[in-house]
Structures are given as C-alpha cells and as structure tokens.
Amino acid sequence: MREIVLDTETTGLDPESGDRIVEIGAVELVNHMPTGRTYHQYINPERTMPQEAFEVHGLSDEFLADKPKFAAIAGEFMEFIGDSRLVIHNAAFDMKFLNAELKWAGYAPLPWERALDTLALARKKFPGAPASLDALCRRFGIDNSSRTLHGALLDSEILAEVYLELIGGRQPDLVLSERRVVADAVSTDDDWRPTPRPAKLPPRLTPQEAEAHAAFVETLGEDALWRKFS
C-alpha cells in the first residue's frame, strides 16, 4: 500500500480570498515504511507575502520571485502523488488549497475521501489532549528541534513519524511468519524467543504528567501499591 504524507505552506488561510500555496513537501510510504522518495517544491504565489505568513515559514517575496508558478509544477506533483492516499495534518486546510490551485491550473480536484487527517486521528486516540504536530512529537519522543520555522518537507517528514506512531509503530502490519529463516537455519515459532530491546523506548510521559502522578501517589498513603512498584 502506497501513501503520501503531505504538507503545504501558504500566504494565508483562505484561497478564495487570494491566498496561494508557496511550498509543497511530501514523503512516500509503502506498507507504512518510508521509501526515501520525497517531493519538494517552492512556488511563486504571484502575490506579496503577508507579514503574518512570513513569520510562520520565513519565505519572502525575494526568495520566491524566481520559483515556478503552481501551474508549471502541477503535472509533476500529480504524477508523484498518483492515486495514493494522502496523509495530512489538518487535512481540510491543505486539501482546500490544493484543490483551489488545481482548479486554477486546469486540473480536476482531488477527492476529499483520499485524505487521512492525522489531526482527527490524534484527537480520537487522545481525546482532550493537545494534538498539534509539536505536541504529538513531545508525546512520542520524536525530535523536532530543527523545526524553528514551518517548512513543508521537514513537517511532512516529522508527520510521517507521528503518523506511524499513531497507527501503532513503524511496522503496524507486521505479522510474524509461521517459519523463520535465521542464519540459514529454519526454525518454527515454537523455537522463537524474544530478545532484549537494545535500547529503552523514550518515555511517553511529559515531565508535567510525571510530576502530577507523583503528587497523586503521595495522597494514597504509605501502603499504596504504587509505592511497591515504583
């Protein structure tokens, strides 16, 4: 199964008010594993960059002046995504912009049902918890220290890691085979034993959650079971 994890940067919030896409980044997954294939393109929006948008992604009028217009790259973009499912954080925003740009370039819109919204997925899995990309990176211990400004390719690469965690880890479809070949010898499942994890998983609790839990345990008294196991 092929999926495309995708992100865009724009001049604002509403294409119907004249806002345009200025950057597209995308990462290819096959069977929920990154293949190393990516798509990245800066785009001349044919309008000036509002200061508020510049402060988000740092893409200036001068930088974008010699970049291609969307119509010039629409074909290669559509070829890259093909008919794959699109994994997007806050999919309604990016799909709205992509379909506006495609319409203006003379292309058919992307069906909304092709998009899988990781924002909705996170809110369903962790109701009431923060679900921004930065918050999910903190939850899953994903390094996003290089994300000082928004960037479409960097954000799509980070989102790919977040998405794989949201659906259960890097190999959610992994099924242990009935027989394994190890060092040219065949062994059955009955022979197999798990080996120790080479490195501990990063903690999922934030420091604030750990502190709140410790404070709660203090209220349970000296005989609390938590004290016997911590």
- Domain membership of residue 206 (yes or no) is no
pLDDT recorded at residue 184: 39
- Domain membership of residue 68 (yes or no) is yes
Count of CB atoms situated within 10 Å of the CB of 3:
19
pLDDT recorded at residue 229: 56
Mean pLDDT, the chain, as a whole number? 85
Q: How confident is the model at residue 186 (pLDDT cuts 50, 70, 90)?
A: very low
- Domain membership of residue 53 (yes or no) is yes
- Domain membership of residue 174 (yes or no) is no
- Domain membership of residue 46 (yes or no) is yes
Q: How confident is the model at residue 55 (pLDDT cuts 50, 70, 90)?
A: very high
Q: Is the pLDDT of residue 217 over 90?
A: no
Active site residues: 150
- Domain membership of residue 199 (yes or no) is no
Range of the domain at 56: 2-166
Q: Tell me: the pLDDT tens digits for 6-46?
A: 999 999 999 999 999 999 999 999 999 999 999 999 999 99
Domain count, the chain: 1
CATH assignment of the domain containing 11 = 3.30.420.10
pLDDT recorded at residue 185: 39
- Domain membership of residue 138 (yes or no) is yes
Count of CB atoms situated within 10 Å of the CB of 110:
17
Q: Tell me: the pLDDT tens digits for 137-184?
A: 999 999 888 766 678 999 999 999 999 999 986 554 443 333 333 333
Q: Is the pLDDT of residue 69 over 50?
A: yes
| pTM of the shown model | 0.72
- Domain membership of residue 147 (yes or no) is yes
pLDDT recorded at residue 205: 67
Q: How confident is the model at residue 193 (pLDDT cuts 50, 70, 90)?
A: low
